[in-house]
Chain A
C-alpha cells in the first residue's frame, strides 16, 4: 500500500462539528470501533464543584487538620452556599485570620482541630467569628 502525505491537520482548523471524527489519528485500516461511543473526558470540576459561583479555593498552611486527611498545602474546595452544620469542616475567619477547623455547635461553639497536638478553640464572648463556607473536599498532592 502507498500512502500520500496530504498535509497535517489540527483540531483548531476544523469547524466544531467535525472535530469529533478526528480526535483519534485517522487510521488507514479499520475505523476505530470506539468512534461511535465517544464521550467527553472526565472533568474534575464536575466532581468537585456543585455551585461554581459560590465556590472558592483556599490553600492550607499547617498540620492542624491532619487527622481529617487535610495535609499542609492541601487545596480546599469551599462552598459558601452550604449552610454549615454541627460537625462540618469549615473555613472561618477568627479575629481577622482564615482558619480551617471542624465546627462544633454544641455543647459550646467550638472550632476543633483534627490533630492531638492542638487544643480546641472555644469561642469567647467578644471574639469575632465568621464562617466563610463549608469545606466539601480537600486535594492533597503527593508529587
Chain B
C-alpha cells in the first residue's frame, strides 16, 4: 500500500522561541501577531492556562503575565529560518515533498515497503528534526492526505506517546473515524459541518459512509473527494508549490486609530511602495491594485470597511503607477471621522514582465521602458538594507509603524544577535 505522511511542527512559533531559550523549557509561551494585537501561537502550557487562539492580547495580558507566562512579538526572521531547516532535512529524506505551510509538509513514502517500516521512519524523522533543529514535530502516516491529517490529530492527542501515528488498516481507521467529529476533518468547515449535522451526520465515520452521488449533487465535488479520501482512496496528490504567487498583500494594524486622510495617505503609500518591491522581486507585473481600510471589530458604534480597486490599462511593475492607483482608490473609499484600525494594499492579476501590452496613448517605446526599468532597479538596489530613496507621498520613516515591543533576537540570521554563552 502506498503511504503518505504529514509532518506538523508542534506549536511552531512558540517552539521556535524556545530553541535558544533553554530557560523557558516548561514556561508558558505565547506569540503575538504583527503590532502585538492577537495571540497567534501558544505553547502547550499556555493552552493549558486557557489562552485561546486569536484572542486579543489586551484581554488576557494581565492574568497571563501574573501567572508567570512569557510573551513574544512575532519574529518571522527566526521562524522562517528554522522552517527552512526543517523542510531541508525532510527534503533530504524522501523523493517527494510538498511544503504545505511554514510548519507543515506532506511526504510521499512510496519508497517504504510496509507500515512497520513507515512507522519506524516516522520515529527517525521526528528524532532527527528534534536533535538537529530543536523543533518538536508530530507525524501522521496514512494512505491519503485527509487521513494523514486525522493521524496527525491522533498523534497530538496521545499524551506521552511517540508523536507518530500510523493509520493503515481499515479496522483501525474506522475505529478512529467513529470518535472524530466532522468539523475536525480536513476541508470540512464550520458551515459544512452544521449542514451535515442537520442531516444527522456527526462523526467522520458517518460522513465516510454517505452515498457518493448524493454528496456530489447535494454538496460539491470537493466534499466528494474528502469522502473518498476518508475511505482510503487517494484523490489529492502531493504537489510541488513552485508556481508563482497570484497576489501580494502588504497590510498593518495601527497602534493608534487613524481618522484623517492626511495621516492615512503616507501609510498607504508605504504599503504600495513595499508591495511594488515585492512585485519586482517576484519578477511579475500586475494589472490591478486594491486598497482596504478597516475600523476595529471591537468598536461597535463606528464601523466601516472600505475596499476598492484600480485597474491599469496594461500590466505594470513601476512603483509610481502603483502609488497613483493606490492613492486614487484611497480617496474614493475613505470616510471622514471613522477610527481606522487597519489598512492594506493588494496587487493582483499578474502577468509575466516579458509581456508588454502596447498602449495607444502612452509612449511605450523601448527606450522609455528601459529607462523606467533601470530607475526601479536602481532604487530597489539602494533600498535593500534600509530605505534611502523615498517617494514624496511616503512617510520618511519607512514601512515600520509596526509595533514589536517584545521581539526576540534574530538568532540565526543576524551577526549581532547570535545566541551567547555565559
Instruction: Select A98's contact among B25, B88, B128, B421, beta carbons within 8 Å.
Output: B421
B133 contacts partner chain A, Cβ-Cβ < 8 Å? yes
B396 contacts partner chain A, Cβ-Cβ < 8 Å? no
Q: A99-115 CB contact bits vs B (8 Å, 1 = yes)? A: 11000000000000000
A97 and B23 contact, CB distance less than 8 A: yes
Could you say which residues of chain A place their CB within 8 Å of the CB of B55? none
Could you say which residues of chain A place their CB within 8 Å of the CB of B422? 61-62, 97-99
CA of A128 to CA of B128, assembled, Å: 22
6 additional contacts, CB 8 Å, given A53-B92, A60-B421, A96-B25? Answer: A61-B421, A62-B421, A75-B418, A98-B20, A98-B419, A98-B422
Could you say which residues of chain A place their CB within 8 Å of the CB of B337? none
B420 contacts partner chain A, Cβ-Cβ < 8 Å? yes
B22 contacts partner chain A, Cβ-Cβ < 8 Å? yes
12 A-B residue pairs with Cβ-Cβ distance under 8 Å, sorted by A, are: A52-B88, A54-B89, A56-B411, A58-B421, A59-B419, A61-B421, A80-B132, A96-B25, A97-B22, A97-B23, A98-B22, A98-B421
**Within the complex, what minimum Cβ distance (angstroms) separates A12 from chain B?**
9
**Within the complex, what minimum Cβ distance (angstroms) separates A24 from chain B?**
24
CA of A130 to CA of B72, assembled, Å: 24
Instruction: List which B1-31 residues lie within 8 A (CB) of chain A.
Output: 20, 22-23, 25
Instruction: Select A54's contact among B23, B132, B418, beta carbons within 8 Å.
Output: B132
A81 and B132 contact, CB distance less than 8 A: yes
CA of A140 to CA of B328, assembled, Å: 56
Could you say which residues of chain A place their CB within 8 Å of the CB of B133? 53-54, 80
B420 and A61 contact, CB distance less than 8 A: yes
Chain B interface residues (CB < 8 Å from chain A): 20, 22-23, 25, 85-86, 88-89, 92, 128, 131-134, 411-412, 418-422
CA of A81 to CA of B134, assembled, Å: 11
Whether A59 contacts B420 in the complex (CB less than 8 A), given A52-B88, A93-B22, A96-B23, comes out as yes
CA of A100 to CA of B88, assembled, Å: 27
CA of A93 to CA of B24, assembled, Å: 11
Chain A interface residues (CB < 8 Å from chain B): 51-54, 56-62, 75-76, 80-81, 91, 93, 96-100, 128, 130, 132
Whether A130 contacts B418 in the complex (CB less than 8 A), given A53-B88, A54-B133, comes out as no
Could you say which residues of chain A place their CB within 8 Å of the CB of B86? 53
CA of A58 to CA of B422, assembled, Å: 11
A81 and B419 contact, CB distance less than 8 A: no
Could you say which residues of chain B place their CB within 8 Å of the CB of A54? 85, 89, 131-133
Could you say which residues of chain A place their CB within 8 Å of the CB of B88? 52-53
Instruction: Select B132's contact among A53, A59, A130, beta carbons within 8 Å.
Output: A53
Q: Name the residue among A91, A96, A100 with the largest chain B CB count within 10 angstroms.
A: A96
**Within the complex, what minimum Cβ distance (angstroms) separates B212 from chain A?**
43
CA of A57 to CA of B20, assembled, Å: 11
Instruction: Select B421's contact among A52, A80, A81, A91, beta carbons within 8 Å.
Output: A91
CA of A100 to CA of B419, assembled, Å: 12
CA of A32 to CA of B132, assembled, Å: 46
| Residue in B closest to A97 when the chains form the complex, CB atoms | B422
**Within the complex, what minimum Cβ distance (angstroms) separates B85 from chain A?**
4
CA of A74 to CA of B23, assembled, Å: 23
A58 and B419 contact, CB distance less than 8 A: yes
A96 and B421 contact, CB distance less than 8 A: no
Could you say which residues of chain A place their CB within 8 Å of the CB of B411? 56
Whether A130 contacts B22 in the complex (CB less than 8 A), given A53-B88, A59-B418, A61-B421, comes out as yes
Could you say which residues of chain A place their CB within 8 Å of the CB of B85? 52-54
Could you say which residues of chain B place their CB within 8 Å of the CB of A96? 22-23, 25
**Within the complex, what minimum Cβ distance (angstroms) separates A7 from chain B?**
13
B421 and A99 contact, CB distance less than 8 A: yes
| Residue in B closest to A64 when the chains form the complex, CB atoms | B421
CA of A60 to CA of B418, assembled, Å: 10
**Within the complex, what minimum Cβ distance (angstroms) separates A73 from chain B?**
10
CA of A59 to CA of B421, assembled, Å: 7
B131 and A98 contact, CB distance less than 8 A: no
CA of A53 to CA of B420, assembled, Å: 20
CA of A96 to CA of B133, assembled, Å: 18
**Within the complex, what minimum Cβ distance (angstroms) separates A54 from chain B?**
4
CA of A54 to CA of B128, assembled, Å: 10
B418 and A57 contact, CB distance less than 8 A: yes
B22 and A58 contact, CB distance less than 8 A: no
**Within the complex, what minimum Cβ distance (angstroms) separates B117 from chain A?**
22
Could you say which residues of chain A place their CB within 8 Å of the CB of B421? 58-62, 76, 91, 97-100
Q: Name the residue among A80, A91, A128 with the largest chain B CB count within 10 angstroms.
A: A80
Could you say which residues of chain A place their CB within 8 Å of the CB of B419? 56, 58-59, 98
